[in-house]
Structure 1
Amino acid sequence: MRPLSMAIPVSLLLLLLASQAAAQSRDYPLTEPAQVSTVRVTAPVRGYFVTPGEADEIKGRYAMSNGWQLDVRPASRSIIARIDNQGPMQLIALSADKFVTADGNVTMEFNQGGFGDEMTMSYVPSSRVAAMIVIRSTVAAR
């Protein structure tokens, strides 16, 4: 009788752990400073001036491979990106096609693929898992 009474709590615990593991892989990128104790030494990011023509090539709505919707709007020397209903992220232009947040946690590379309509986003999820997630997407609307 003892093994059967232990089987139910153990199975519930395993179910809870499995649901937590699945939830961690779907975290959005950090959009605000986190309370994390880290030390990083980097040179200041120098912005690249994005011309209006270059901005037109990357602005729009992107359908991401994991089901998210990314909306990209240009700004001077940066872009403003918003995923679904999350807060906006400002990414600084490193080149006409590559943008990064000031903390380096999110990187977006545009004008990829055969037709230049694909984008790759790499980010550190907001969960406590040490990981970098890479998502590919295509332009849904400009």
Structure 2
Amino acid sequence: MSRIFVLNGPNLNLLGSREPEIYGHDTLDDIAGRLEDRGRELGLEIDMRQSNHEGHLVDWLHEAQATGAVAVLLNAGAFSHTSVAIHDAIKAIAVPVIEVHLSNPAAREAFRHHSYVGMAAKGTVAGFGADSYLVALQAAAGLAGK
């Protein structure tokens, strides 16, 4: 079965309780369950991970390449706007990366309008809450020929 890595950055472990007016009430486990259900329907295995540490995300991007993942969904959180290291890791691998955001960064503070991740990613899905992950998964399935 083809594998999709779903990588989540800082503070996403707090989904459901962190600023629900912006990020919603779904927890990361809720989102993982929906992704796994939809992944099974598409013939895709979901490998969902979260870390508050930039280097873990870089290592996991490398691992996605090394293990033959067909795509990566990446919600790098605040690292989207600050991390040249994650940008470079995306550029260093052949696996397509889809940037994911629960909120719409373009409609928020000015510092969120620039994304190093977006500059390197195949595409971006933002602003649809937890459904952003499902839209991104559908796009990844298309890239994988599913």
Query: Please, what TM-score do these two structures have when normalized by structure 2?
Result: 0.31
Higher RCO by CA contacts (8 Å cutoff, separation 6 or greater): 2
Higher strand share: 1
Q: Which has the larger radius of gyration?
A: 1
Higher helix share: 2
